Amino acid sequence: MLKGSKVGLRARHEDDIPILQAELHDDVVNYSRTVGGAWRPITPGSKTAQFVVDDEEQRRVPFSVVELDGGTLVGSAVLWSIDNHNRSAHIGLGLLPSARGKGYGTDVVAVLCHYGFVVLGLQRLQIETLSDNAAMLRSAECNGFVREGVLRSSAWVMGEFLDEVLLGLLVQDWKPDSKG
Site residues (vs ligand COA, CB under 6 A): 30, 34, 93-95, 100-106, 129, 133-136, 138-139, 142, 180
The SS3 assignment for 138 reads: helix
Nearer to ligand COA, 111 or 136 (CB): 136
- For residue 140, which of 164, 162, 110, 119 has the smallest C-alpha distance? 110
What's the closest the beta carbon of residue 135 comes to ligand COA, in angstroms? 3
Give the CB-nearest residue to ligand COA.
105
CB of 176 to ligand COA, least distance (A): 17
3-state secondary structure (DSSP) of residue 114: helix
CB of 7 to ligand COA, least distance (A): 9
Residues contacting 130, CB < 8 A, separation 6+:
33, 136, 155, 157, 162, 163, 164, 165
Query: Please, which residue, 35 or 49, has the CB nearer to ligand COA?
Result: 35
Q: Contact at 8 Å (CB) between 65 and 7?
A: yes
Nearest distance from C-beta of residue 95 to ligand COA, angstroms? 4
Q: How far apart are CB 45 and ligand COA at their closest, in Å? A: 26
Sheet holding 146-157, edge to edge: 2-3, 7-10, 61-67, 73-83, 88-95, 124-130, 160-170, 146-157
Q: Which is nearer to ligand COA, 138 or 147 (CB)?
A: 138
**Beta carbon nearer to ligand COA, 84 or 153:** 153
CA dist., res. 122 & res. 40, Å (int)? 33
* Residue number with CB closer to ligand COA (20 or 42): 20
